């Protein structure tokens, strides 16, 4: 039995699986982008006449809303638990910058509680975040 070979036929690239690969890449990129998701609390930033821009990577961010509720990583935290978080962060990275992000209507007493913890720990790398 003689089998004929088609000599004029050029090799082809299967395009049907390309859409599957593109879809998987899209899902992968979406999942990876959610890993670095930063939870922000809705606040009104205070304004300042003079301010200094600091780097914003690898900081310890403490959020305080207008009612005085303290948040860390998007979750409500009590002042005693916050003290432990601050101590652990300072032990891990002694020069870590602590950002206190408070609503402009927050009473000073709520921020002073956080500042007292930092004062006791003698940590002076602190920023009060304002609207730019």
Q: What structural domains and CATH numbers belong to the chain?
A: 60-128 (3.30.420.270)
The confidence band for 81, taking pLDDT boundaries of 50, 70 and 90, is very high
Percent of the chain exceeding pLDDT 70 equals: 85
d(CA 71, CA 67): 12
Q: Is the pLDDT of residue 74 over 90?
A: no
Reported pTM: 0.64
Residue 113's nearest CA partner among 83, 74, 89, 84 is 83
Question: In this structure, how many other beta carbons lie within 10 angstroms of the beta carbon of residue 118?
Answer: 18
d(CA 41, CA 38): 10
Q: What tokens does 60 get? A: 């310890």
More confident: 36 or 69: 69
């Amino acid at each position: 039995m003689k089998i004929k070979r088609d000599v004029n036929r050029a090799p082809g690239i299967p395009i049907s699986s390309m859409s599957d690969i593109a879809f998987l890449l899209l899902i992968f990129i979406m999942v990876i982008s959610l890993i670095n998701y930063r939870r922000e609390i809705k606040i009104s930033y205070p304004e300042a006449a003079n301010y200094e821009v600091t780097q914003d990577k690898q900081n310890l961010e403490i959020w305080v809303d207008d009612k005085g509720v303290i948040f860390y990583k998007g979750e409500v935290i009590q002042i005693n638990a916050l003290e432990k978080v601050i101590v652990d962060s300072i032990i891990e990275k002694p020069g870590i910058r602590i950002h206190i992000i408070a609503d402009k209507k927050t009473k000073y007493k709520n921020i002073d509680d956080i500042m007292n913890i930092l004062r006791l720990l003698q940590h002076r790398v602190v920023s009060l975040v304002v609207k730019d």
